[in-house]
Amino acid sequence: MEAGLPADTAQGPKTGIVHLGLGAFFRGFGCVFVADAMAASGGEWGITGVSLRSPDTRDALQGQGWGYTSVTLAPEGEQTRWITVLTDVLVAPEDPQAVLIAMAKPDVRIVTLTVTEKGYCHNPATGALNADHPDIIHDLAHDLPKSAPGFLVRALQCRRAAGVAPFTVLTCDNLPENGRLVRGLVLDFARRLDPDLADWIATEGKFPCTMVDRITPATTMADIARVGQLTGNVDAAPVMHEPFAQWVIEDDFVGNARPDFAAAGVEMVQDVTAHEHMKLRMLNGTHSALAYTGYLAGHETIAETVADPVFAAYVRRLWSEIIPAVQAPDGVSLTEYADALFDRYANPGIRHKTWQIAMDGSQKLPQRILGSLEATLSAGRDSSALCLAVAAWMRYVGGMDEVGQVIDVRDPLAGRLRDASDSADTPEGKVAALLDVRDVFSAELAEKLIRPVTKAAIQLWTKGTRAAIEEGAL
């Protein structure tokens, strides 16, 4: 579809999906797949977006009838498409009741989520609900919630009270076994509220796991200006993404109620685990490793980082350490997958900032890097490139780069990480203090990591990141 004026939403589809966390990614990915599924097979799968934080997206989209431009950043040029699948956007802190009402409507059969890793209020090292999280404490004590688990459980409570079947919870965040993890969090929260509710959700609810993949950098002011010139329409909130998109979903929905995802090119499977491990470890793991090392070496984007031959060799080394511990999904060659990832990273049209990917590392490291590291160390294989990535994260969260500039570290544990880093003057001391942060490292893993990560950290602090990688002397 060409870019054009917003469609009349009164003639659009009815709402069948509520999406929590309406950021760039879901608008450039899930919304596009749902629009394609409806174009192919019909159905009432309009999406009400919800922001659990700021009103920015609602404010930007309201004046354009909830439509927006999805921009494909292909190496040969940019293609635009006007997306009209959103039916409304709500801002939870302004009116949490309106969000619960939307989620409790019988026509809503699916609640999708991209609230980032930290939005689940869990302990990343164990996957358990963090009952000390201020939003969880609040949500257990009040009917009108703040957190994503709180909204899911309170809305399911409303549905049960009204005799309406639960919605399917379809998380699209990069978490390990994301559906099962969210199910565990929802059941734990619900049990603290009302054990009968928890039993009902456990029996009737569905939480399929998903693997989501499309690199979608944050939209910049320059993007907004360029898209306006390209389409002739002023769009306050376009989304920018690569051509590649892969969505793998476990086909396990309440009442089988879902868009015809397969018609839109989604892979509907029985078990997503193999796809998800491959993607989290090979894509997200190397993305994070390149983000910390690349940022410290002064690279602004992933494309810039891999254009530097030292980092191009580093990412290949990372894959050679990661691949032996990854089980390939049927019919997939992991070396070909790595080659394709390299080409995607190198796309100069994608200005995915190392700083953006570096955000929230405490929530990302376990599933992206530590799982690979644990497997590699247990098997006695070389893990020096992965250890260097952990050391680079440690240097990054210390808050000062290699030329003495302050780093704007965004992380829910930023204060604790900074304190741990500041508690020692030497790389050895900093590594020991950071390995003691139990939200990230189990005691068992910390013991295994202390020697190799200290070795990597000494190289990194004394020589600088680029030289430490270049010399490979880890």
Question: Per CB under 6 A, does 150 bind ligand NAD?
Answer: no
With binding defined as CB under 6 A, does residue 237 bind ligand NAD? no
The answer to whether residue 25 forms part of the interface with ligand NAD (CB under 6 A) is: yes
* Residue closer to ligand NAD (CB basis): 60 or 218: 218
Using the rule CB under 6 A, give the single segment among 38-46, 47-55, 199-207, 263-271 that binds ligand NAD. 47-55
Residue 223 amino acid letter: D
CB 27 to ligand NAD: min, Å: 8
Closest approach of ligand NAD to the CB of residue 400, in Å: 25
Smaller CB separation from ligand NAD, 3 or 215: 215
Q: Name residues whose C-beta falls within 8 Å of residue 291's C-beta, 6 or more positions apart in sequence.
A: 302, 354, 355, 357, 358
The Cα–Cα gap between 186 and 198 comes to 8
Residue closer to ligand NAD, measured from CB, 73 or 198: 73
Cβ proximity to ligand NAD, 147 vs 168, nearer residue: 147
Q: Interface with ligand NAD includes 373 (CB under 6 A)?
A: no
Q: Are 266 and 248 in contact (CB under 8 A)?
A: yes
Size of the site for ligand NAD (CB under 6 A): 22
With CB under 6 A as the contact rule, the residue among 112, 168, 174, 288 that binds ligand NAD is: 174
What DSSP letter does each residue of 51-85 carry, written as one string? ESS-SHHHHHHHTTTT-EEEEEEETTEEEEEEE--
Q: How far, in Å, CA of 469 to CA of 234, rounded?
A: 45
Q: Does 18 bind ligand NAD (CB under 6 A)?
A: no
Closest CA to 263 of 44, 43, 37, 38: 37
Does 148 bind ligand NAD (CB under 6 A)? Our answer is: yes
Nearer to ligand NAD, 381 or 410 (CB): 410
Helix then strand then coil, in percent of the chain rounded to 5, is 55, 15, 35
How far is residue 141's CA from residue 124's CA, in Å, rounded to a whole number? 24
Scored b (16 or more CB within 10 A) or e, 422-435 reads eeeeebeebbbbbb
Using the contact rule CB under 6 A, the part of the chain among 24-32, 76-84, 328-336, 428-436 near ligand NAD is 24-32
Residue 237 identity: A
* Of 36-44, 214-222, 290-298, 417-425: span binding ligand NAD (CB under 6 A): 214-222
- Shortest distance, position 56 Cβ to ligand NAD, whole Å: 8
Minimum Å gap between C-beta 462 and ligand NAD is: 34
For ligand NAD, give the closer residue by CB, 116 or 301: 116
Among 15, 51, 367, 372, binds ligand NAD (CB under 6 A): 51
Distance of CA 335 to CAs 283, 319, 339, 351, 382, Å? Answer: 12, 8, 6, 25, 18
CA distances from 155 to 22, 166, 168, 383 (A): 18, 9, 12, 45
Amino acid at 86: L
Which DSSP helix (H) or strand (E) runs through 15? strand 15-20
Contact status: 416 vs ligand NAD (CB under 6 A): no
Note whether 23 binds ligand NAD by CB under 6 A. yes
Q: How far apart are CA 472 and CA 325, in angstroms?
A: 22
Angle at 182 between CA 179 and CA 188, to 5 degrees: 140
83 to 122: interface string for ligand NAD, x by CB under 6 A: -------------------------------xxxxxx---
Binding of ligand NAD at residue 463 (CB under 6 A)?
Answer: no
Positions that interact with ligand NAD (CB under 6 A):
21-26, 51-53, 114-119, 148, 173-174, 212, 215-216, 218
